[in-house]
Structure 1
C-alpha cells in the first residue's frame, strides 16, 4: 500500500501530517517497550498497588496519546518532517549517564545539577545564566520533594569519609 493517492489533479498524500505521524508512532513504540519491560513486575490492585501500576498505566496513556496523533495525522493538515539534529538527544542521553554515574558517589546535590546543566546544552538557544538559575531552583525543589516530603533515602552529599543525610 502506498502512502500516496494518485488523483486526477496530481498526487495527494494519505498522511497529511507526517510530523504527527512519526511522533505518534514513536510514542506507541516507546509505550509498548515500557509495558513489555514491566511485564515481570506485579501491577497489584487499586487497594494494594504494585510497583508496575503507575509506570504501566502512564505508558498506556502515552501510547493512547500516540494513537491519537497517528489518527489525526491522516485527518488534519500538519507540519512536514523537519531535519533531525543529534545535539539534543546526545546531550540528554549524556545527562542521564552522568546522573546515574554520580548519584551514589557524590550525592544528589552534585549529580542533579551536573545532569541538568548537561541536558540544558542540548539546545542551541541555551542561555547559561537562565540555565544555572533553573538548575539551582530545580535541585532545591527536588531535594525538598524527594528527601523531605517523600522521605526517600536519598544521599544528598557524599564526601570522602563523610556522608550528609538530611
Structure 2
C-alpha cells in the first residue's frame, strides 16, 4: 500500500511566502522603472563616472535584492499577506511629493518641515519636543551635507 504525502496548505495557496513574493515584485518593479528612466544617461566607467553610473548601480542592486526576495517567496515558507497599510503608504508618498514640490518654493528647511509633518501621519504623532529635535537635526544635516559639503545650489529659506 502506497501512502502519499499531502501538503497542509490548500491547493489554491501554492505560494510558500506570498509576502516575500509581493515584496520581491515591488522591489523589482521599482528597479526596472529606475533603469528605464536612466536609460539615456551616460554611465561612464569606474575611472570616469558620469551621471547615469550611480542610479544604474543602485537600481542593479535593488533588482538583485528584488529577485532574491522573489525567489525566496517561491521557495521558502513564510507568513501570508495580511493586507495593505494604506495610511502609512499614502502619508509617506504624500510627504515625499510635498517635499519635492515645496523645495524650490519654500526652501530646504521648510520643505523638510513639511516632509516630517506629513510623514508623521504614517504612525503615532511625535510630541513637539522630539518633532522639533528631528526637524532641526535633519535640516542642519542636509544643509551641511548638500549645501556646504557638496556645494549644491539649494535655496535654504524662502
Structure 1 residues 53-104: Cα deviation after superposition (integer angstroms, max 9, x where no partner): 1011101101100111111123322121012121112112221222122211
Q: Secondary structure at the match of 2:104?
A: coil
Root mean square deviation, CA, Å: 2.0
Structure with bigger RCO (C-alpha 8 Å, 6+ apart): 2
By how many angstroms is 1:132 displaced?
3.3
Could you tell which deviates more after superposition, 76-85 or 27-36? 76-85
Distance between the aligned counterparts of 2:127 and 2:134, measured in 1?
10
Question: Which runs of 5 or more structure 1 residues have no equivalent in the other structure?
Answer: 1-6, 159-166
Look up the match of 1:163.
none
Look up the match of 2:136.
136
Larger % of strand: which? 1
By how many angstroms is 1:25 displaced?
0.9
Q: Secondary structure at the match of 2:27?
A: helix
Residues 53-68 of structure 1 aligned to structure 2 (within 5 Å): 53-68=53-68
Report if aligned partners of 1:120, 1:126 keep a CA contact under 8 Å in 2: yes
Look up the match of 2:69.
69
| Residues paired across the two proteins, number | 152
TM value normalised by structure 1? 0.82
TM value normalised by structure 2? 0.86
Distance between the aligned counterparts of 2:135 and 2:14, measured in 1?
44
Larger % of helix: which? 2
Look up the match of 1:8.
6
By how many angstroms is 1:9 displaced?
5.4
